[in-house]
């Protein structure tokens, strides 16, 4: 308990710039009665979308492949500690890290809103900035760099 | 900063029918850039879940097949009038109709929250009450009948 | 064996212009241990894609919104008779009907491959042809009309 | 006319690892016109299911949480090298590794069937064996160990 309290304290001051809430729907569960593993990464992407939308990004343009730049996901990792059930209200804490001029990572900590001292799962995604036509590396836009800074 | 993905917990229900809010996620869209048609029915089921949860039903028990009764969906219909895009905040108005001792229907009207005068899609689902073991018809529970009455 | 052969014979001559096989995956099921209702329509769309691909349509171009014409789904219906489980190998029989110069419908009958005498579900989708920019009604292309004729 | 959606039942398994074929469906793509990242892990789970089914495991029992043992996924990783499009026919090569009496890993290499020299993505999942009631670690069953050996 002391350990968790302490962790919570650290997390809330240093690591928690964006909080996303999401209720688990029935469609997210599988025949074992819990959230299907890959859907946890889908929840995390929802947090990413919300953190972009909250800063004024137009999501439809942002995720389109018709602009000059695209930001595909090049890798993802997820660890599962506890199952999630239909009706659970989840909180996802999102934290960004710009790793170079052309790349960034996002970390996600997933909790039930009524147990913020117990991580249910944690995940990360890696993103790269590319020219959409040539598919060659491109520098992150100033807007994106500002966004990354804000939630780092 | 907090972002509500699917706002059923904040939704007011002062007037019938039940209102459910839900943001369209990127995963819900398809290669044509709009919500994949079948996902609209999934959104409607989310409204159904929220309307049950709002009245105190335990969703995990409710949707399990381990209780005495089950309430499978036996039919669904949906009509699409306008496309939905990532980031759209949808409002689904849900209305129930008990059609017999053992059956009920739910109607759904889907809007963008900023255009409540323009229906994007409408749908309905038909449900039947069965004994979970015998799969024979069973009378709807008093709790379920009360729920159906409330949102009718 | 004779029974199945016979059935197969009848079906293939009279009722089965296109057959699509698909195994139910775990992700398709929900917490009640059966296929989530809206996913049945997703399976049907898979049959539609396969029937297009089998006739040489380039699916990536066909479903893009960047060509001159688009063919959005404007309505769908589905009836469920029996549950479907993970590992079930389904057969979907697809039949088309051109209803006007600009519209068509597709009917789907869903079976387990080992019980082609018992329909698990049936569905239909309605499609309309539009100019992609103006979103006004457009005549179905000769290729599409040929496809519709082939599986009618 | 027959079209095979996910061809595990036709797949040859003469050489290790297990090979699984799967066509990308429209629902798997997102508004950028490519497969949504988390769906690649869902495809990998399909390969896992097929490799179990091919060895005679009853998938409905296997993935249920009602038996004595459960095998939850405790971690997953995925790297993306090239995009996948609707209609692409993918081959997933699956290889197992028993890492202890109670744990195993599965590696997945994903290709287009017509370019088996170019990996599109690779992934891995970690699984642990638990007593379903106590949620404490349990030894992998002999059947599961044999399966793991076969595809290692």
Q: Do B59 and A18 touch (CB under 8 A)?
A: no
Kindly report, residue by residue over B17-41, the tens digit of the pLDDT: 899 999 999 999 999 999 999 999 9
Q: What is the dihedral of CA A147, A150, B1, B7, to 10 degrees?
A: 20
Residue C43 clears pLDDT 90, i.e. is over it: yes
Out of B45, B63, B75, the one facing C38 most closely (by C-beta) is B45
pTM listed for this prediction? 0.91
What pLDDT band is residue C17 in, cutting at 50, 70 and 90?
A: confident
Residues 6+ apart with CB under 8 A from D78: A75, A76, A77, D37, D40, D41, D44, D121, D122, D123, D124
The average pLDDT across B42-50 equals 98
Give C144's Cβ-side CA count (13 Å radius): 25
Which segment of C118-127, D6-15, D81-90 scores lowest on mean pLDDT? D6-15
Give me the catalytic one of A30, A65, A88, A107: A30
Give me the catalytic one of C6, C28, C30, C101: C30
Residue B84 clears pLDDT 60, i.e. is over it: yes
Residues of A with CB under 8 A from a CB of D: 30-34, 36-39, 41-42, 45, 60, 63-65, 70, 72-81, 83, 125
Q: Which residues of B are catalytic?
A: 30
The average pLDDT across A113-137 equals 97
Share the mean pLDDT of chain D: 92
Distance from CA of C92 to the nearest CA of D (A): 10
Q: Do A31 and C36 touch (CB under 8 A)?
A: no
The position carrying tokens 């947090």 is A47
Q: What is the dihedral of CA B82, B87, B93, B99, to 10 degrees?
A: 80
Query: Which chains would you list as touching B if contact means 3+ CB atom pairs under 8 Å?
Result: A, C, D
Query: Per residue in A38-68, is it b (16+ CB within 10 Å) or e — as a string?
Result: bbbbbbbbbbbbbbbbbeebebbebbbbeee
Distance from CA of C14 to the nearest CA of A (A): 36
Closest chain B residue to A150 measured between Cα atoms? Answer: B1
Report chain A residues whose CB lies below 8 A from the CB of C31. 26, 29-31, 33-34, 85-86
Kindly report, residue by residue over C112-135, the tens digit of the pLDDT: 999 999 999 999 999 999 999 999
Q: Do A31 and C30 touch (CB under 8 A)?
A: yes
């Amino acid at each position: 308990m002391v350990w968790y309290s302490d962790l919570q304290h650290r997390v809330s001051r240093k690591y928690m710039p964006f909080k996303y809430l999401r209720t688990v729907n029935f469609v997210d569960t599988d025949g074992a009665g819990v959230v299907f593993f890959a859907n946890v990464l889908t929840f995390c992407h929802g947090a990413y979308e919300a953190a972009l939308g909250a800063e004024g990004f137009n999501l439809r343009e942002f995720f389109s492949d018709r602009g000059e730049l695209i930001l595909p996901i090049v890798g993802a990792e997820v660890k599962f500690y506890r199952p999630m059930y239909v009706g659970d209200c989840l909180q996802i804490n999102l934290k960004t890290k710009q790793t170079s001029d052309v790349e960034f990572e996002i970390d996600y900590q997933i909790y039930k809103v009524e147990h913020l001292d117990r991580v249910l799962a944690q995940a990360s995604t890696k993103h790269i900035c590319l020219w959409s036509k040539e598919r060659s590396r491109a520098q992150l836009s100033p807007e994106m760099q500002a966004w990354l800074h804000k939630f780092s």
